[in-house]
Amino acid sequence: MVPSLKRIDGRLVNILDQGTGPAILFVHGFPLDHSMWKHQIEALSDQFRVIAPDLRGFGTSESDDDQTTMRQFADDLAAIIRATDGVSKVTLCGLSMGGYIAWEFLQNHPELIERLVLCDTKAAADSAEARQTRFENADRVLNEGPAFLAEGMMEKLFSKSSLSNKSGIVEETKQVILNSSPQAIAAALRGMAQRSDMTSTLAGIELPTLIIVGEEDSITTKDEMETISQSIPNAAFCAVPDAGHMAPLEQPETVTNAIREFLKTNPTS
């Protein structure tokens, strides 16, 4: 199935909605779109209703924001769920920035979520230096476009073996970044720079949770994700060999199987 544009709260949002069964909401990372979840969408829509939007400004979703906070993205997701017939709660599955959004979603829309899957993300806020770099990159992308970001990010997003042997996914991801709106990229960079440290909220998460990390992720390391997993009372942990930050694209079967097994062992009531 192909995604389609839906008007939600007056704004066009591109949403893929495929399959039937308990709903899984896939939330993409920065500065990407819903297609990063294409393998999981294809495989899991045999048993689940898979909903995968482009976040505001990304893909073909509209935005005119100068800054988009993680809370705003989370509120957008809540509006999408409320506008989707037959869905009252979701399993939220977010990667990296999708995880930052998930923390805000948990705080502000707990009635809409029943299980949580977090891939390659952080609970901590940015350091002062990282924040400064984000603000500089936001200005730069508005002046120059996203090419410098796309060039700089590939080595961080993928494991060494994916960079050498999986040029297809590396090139596809680069194209998604090159096609992203500079304004949306700048808005998300400013929003991420100002996100809160969510570490102290982890112990209060009561939902069944699965933490997934590519073993070679250099942006959000295995150690950091393992610490998150140990801080959440009801969390399972899956480290994916031969994968970096983009584990769902690099090792699709391993990630899909881990999600499917988690959903099977934690059924909805």
Binding residues for ligand MLT (CB under 6 A)? 29-30, 96-97, 192, 219, 245
Strands 11-18 and 4-8: antiparallel
Min dist. Cβ of residue 51 to ligand MLT (A): 19
Min dist. Cβ of residue 137 to ligand MLT (A): 10
Q: Alpha helix locations (H) across the chain?
A: 38-44, 70-82, 97-108, 128-144, 147-157, 160-165, 167-179, 182-193, 222-231, 247-250, 252-265
Scan for tokens 């399959």, then name that residue: 19
- Tally the residues of the chain: 269
Min dist. Cβ of residue 15 to ligand MLT (A): 19
Min dist. Cβ of residue 193 to ligand MLT (A): 9
Nearer to ligand MLT, 119 or 263 (CB): 119
Nearer to ligand MLT, 21 or 145 (CB): 145
Min dist. Cβ of residue 96 to ligand MLT (A): 3
Burial of 222 (0-12, 13-18, 19+ CB in 10 A): middle
Beta partners for residue 5, in sequence order: 14
Nearer to ligand MLT, 30 or 73 (CB): 30
Min dist. Cβ of residue 245 to ligand MLT (A): 6
- Sequence-distant (6+) residues with CB within 8 A of 265 are none
Q: Which SS3 state, helix, strand or coil, does residue 86 take?
A: coil
Nearer to ligand MLT, 188 or 259 (CB): 188
Nearer to ligand MLT, 219 or 236 (CB): 219
Scan for tokens 């400013």, then name that residue: 190
Nearer to ligand MLT, 97 or 112 (CB): 97
